[in-house]
A and B are shown apart, each in its own frame.
Chain A
Amino acid sequence: MSEEAKSNARDVLEQLAANIRTGGVEIVDLTHTLAPDFPVMALPPEFGQCQPFRIEEVSRYDGRGPGWYWNNISMSEHAGTHFDAPAHWISGRNLPGNTVDDLPLDKLIGPAVVLDFSAESAADEDFLLTQAHLETWEEANGVIDDGTWVLFRTDWSKHLGIAKYLNLRDDGAHSPGPAPDAMEFLVKERGIVGFGVETVGTDAGQGSHLSPPYPAHYILHGHGRYGLQCLNALDRLPVRGAVIFAAPLKIRNGSGSPLRVLAMVPARGEKPT
């Protein structure tokens, strides 16, 4: 690296820090609070189950520990707002660096675009995002760059706390997600880093009936890309221009982990709600 590049990087970081301090760069929390009543993926009961977040108080300035407060926590790697590594899916099982302890760090901080399909998702709970939708979107908003996180806004996070969040019925869950051709397009034609959603999985509620089943999981992870689920506050991000920080816990051979997802965005000059 040249001296000029080094100096330039120093300037960029200084400016970033200064802007964060003065509020020119706003930090948006895309994370839901980890709580025991946060729903997790429902699987057929004969399969192993996803353990929801649980918390047991160890002491709280009392006889169990007079001067300190702390808890034991337990959960699935896939509870709450969480990260899916390629090893999570069978299609990604043989890829190098496919577990959370072995991810290239430069992929964990990067630009994000937000595809707003909240109106479509409100109109159709089984809305499928297709390649055609993506092409139309690119005509209006420009091409999705290589190395980008694509965040799929459905406003589904606003259903948290009511049955509609999982939207389970006798025939399974009903929530929006990507069609196989959209995933093929994003991964192969656009080289995205990962795909982030507001729903409990990157796939549509009825994703098991698509071909391949669970196309987001299958195609993303089969190509070493990542998933982010149960995101919050995507409506506070610009279509382009956000940089997200999404680093999972460093669990040996882990398939994913709950995490804090932060987005840096140019301030809109308004207070967060």
Chain B
Amino acid sequence: MTEPVGPPPKKDPQKVTRPPELPPLQRSRASLKQAAWAARGVFALQVCGVCGKASYPPRDACPGCLSDDLDFRPVDDRGTVIAQTVIRSSTDLYFRQRTPWRVGLVRLDCGLSIVAHLHGDVAVPGPVRMVAKLDKSGNAVLMALPATESDNMTDDPEYRELTASPRHRRILVTDGRGAVGQAVANALSKAGASAIFVGVAEPWKPFSGMDGLKAIPNVQTLPLDLTDTTSVTELAGEIGGKTDIIVNTADHVRPGGIFGDGSLVTSRDAFDVNVFGLQRLAQAFGPAMRGRGADGINSAAAFVDVLPVYALANLPDFGFYSASAAARHSLLQCLRAEMRAGGVRVMSVFTGPVDDDWRQHVPPPKVAPGQIAKVVVRALEEGIEESFVGDIATDIAARFLDDPKVLERELSQ
């Protein structure tokens, strides 16, 4: 079993915060394809389209038959670890701060042997389950986990480097007025967050679920209006230095396309929350988080944004809302690049239509706030950069990967 991670001691104000170093950054294009699969939490390897041989590390030609027909495919994640070593010293700045580091040789059931990070609970020799995860540089790495879950498995220090566990972390949830924010706060509380700051815009207006929200253990409601730069800056001044994770659940949704009455006023409101709100949040909180990416047990770990899957292609019935989502998606890509220097993950949780007042006329399947909360916690616990909540989101993502132009037509019919 893994030694459970306890609550971190209060920070020594005289000590210099450990600067966030990164594992090696540069990767080949073939490697980045593996990272794309890992970003979605899938263990995939290159499999040769001619001879069927799986290979690793990623390369441009099949080591068996020299064919360049090498596509990544999800493969059997089982294997057996046959040897191990522990690295105790390194010249690499990142690993130097993190030794000892356990590495093993794993014979995969799909037919090849690879070198991978080794979870502390894996017995050698013994069966393992392989996962592909993103390291702090955003590159794919493979890790061998115990074949069946061990006690406190996620507390393994090597595994924690690949995730953004909410346990013992202080988390800001941006919109406590909404059902999604309330469900996320509740799920994070159960997942062991030590403090959950929940932003409430216009606190002078009552809202449904207010009492329930305030009753969640470790929840503290604070004024936060993402449309108001002053409000965001003031909150960052108050809690920015101890915010380890942000989950942005704010979302301004209204039906309507370009020709709708007053669509400019409403779309401005939507962009102000969905795009500029995200920007204000990232500008106010991002730099401090980026500086605290290696700050111990409760280092800054992740910035999660819950956004509609129509970021990928426009749904004309919610035309300007989709446009704001697309801008939001693009901004997240920028933020991901800017946060990478601190090893802070930027995670996108794409949702299908949420079951709320604004989408009463939208036919099912719809997504319940609790489902979103579950996926947010999973993304953090497993270090998944792109998640999709509900059948519609999953389906749209698949169609998007297939051909965005076809998807555009499908959504506009």
Find out whether the CB atom of A49 lies under 8 angstroms from the CB atom of B230: no
Find out whether the CB atom of A55 lies under 8 angstroms from the CB atom of B230: yes
Which of B204, B206, B228 meets A54, CB within 8 Å?
A: B228
Interface residue stretch chosen among A20-28, A114-122, A165-173, A201-209:
A165-173
B residues in contact with A51, CB < 8 Å: 269
Bound-state CA distance A51–B228 (Å) is 11
Which of A42, A56, A166 meets B229, CB within 8 Å?
A: A56
Residue of chain A at shortest CB distance from B203: A163
Bound-state CA distance A51–B252 (Å) is 14
Find out whether the CB atom of B204 lies under 8 angstroms from the CB atom of A39: yes
Contact with A along B216-235 (1 / 0, CB 8 A): 00000001010111110000
Judged by a CB distance under 8 angstroms, whether B205 is at the interface is yes
Bound-state CA distance A157–B202 (Å) is 17
Q: How far is the CB of B275 from chain A (nearest CB, A)?
A: 14
Find out whether the CB atom of B262 lies under 8 angstroms from the CB atom of A54: no
Find out whether the CB atom of B231 lies under 8 angstroms from the CB atom of A169: no
Residue of chain A at shortest CB distance from B272: A54
Residue of chain B at shortest CB distance from A39: B204
Find out whether the CB atom of A54 lies under 8 angstroms from the CB atom of B227: yes
Find out whether the CB atom of A168 lies under 8 angstroms from the CB atom of B266: no
Number of interface residues of A (CB under 8 A): 20
Find out whether the CB atom of B204 lies under 8 angstroms from the CB atom of A36: no
| Contact A165 B266, CB 8 Å, known A36-B228, A36-B230, A36-B231 | no
A residues in contact with B269, CB < 8 Å: 49, 51
Judged by a CB distance under 8 angstroms, whether B16 is at the interface is no
Q: How far is the CB of A79 from chain B (nearest CB, A)?
A: 12
B residues in contact with A37, CB < 8 Å: 223, 225, 228, 230-231
Find out whether the CB atom of A163 lies under 8 angstroms from the CB atom of B262: no
Find out whether the CB atom of A48 lies under 8 angstroms from the CB atom of B262: yes
Q: How far is the CB of B25 from chain A (nearest CB, A)?
A: 29
| Contact A163 B228, CB 8 Å, known A48-B265, A48-B266 | no
Q: How far is the CB of B305 from chain A (nearest CB, A)?
A: 22
Bound-state CA distance A48–B261 (Å) is 9
In chain A, positions 92-128 with a C-beta closer than 8 Å to chain B are none
Bound-state CA distance A55–B269 (Å) is 15
Judged by a CB distance under 8 angstroms, whether A1 is at the interface is no
Bound-state CA distance A51–B225 (Å) is 13
Find out whether the CB atom of B229 lies under 8 angstroms from the CB atom of A54: yes
Which of A39, A54, A162, A170 meets B202, CB within 8 Å?
A: A39
B residues in contact with A57, CB < 8 Å: 229
Pick from B223, B230, B231, B262 the residue with the most CB of A within 10 Å.
B230
Bound-state CA distance A168–B230 (Å) is 24
Residue of chain A at shortest CB distance from B228: A36
B residues in contact with A56, CB < 8 Å: 229
| Contact A168 B265, CB 8 Å, known A36-B230, A54-B228 | no
B residues in contact with A162, CB < 8 Å: 204
Q: Known pairs A36-B225, A39-B202. 8 more at Cβ < 8 A?
A: A37-B228, A37-B230, A48-B262, A54-B227, A55-B229, A56-B229, A168-B204, A168-B205
Q: List 22 A-B contacts (CB under 8 A).
A: A35-B230, A36-B225, A37-B223, A37-B225, A37-B230, A37-B231, A39-B202, A39-B204, A39-B205, A42-B205, A48-B265, A48-B266, A49-B265, A51-B269, A52-B228, A54-B227, A55-B230, A56-B229, A163-B203, A163-B204, A165-B204, A170-B206
Residues of A near any B CB (own CB < 8 A) = 35-37, 39, 42, 48-49, 51-52, 54-57, 162-163, 165-166, 168-170
The 10 residue pairs across chains A and B that have the minimum distance between CB atoms: A36-B228, A163-B204, A36-B230, A48-B262, A168-B205, A48-B265, A39-B204, A166-B204, A56-B229, A168-B206
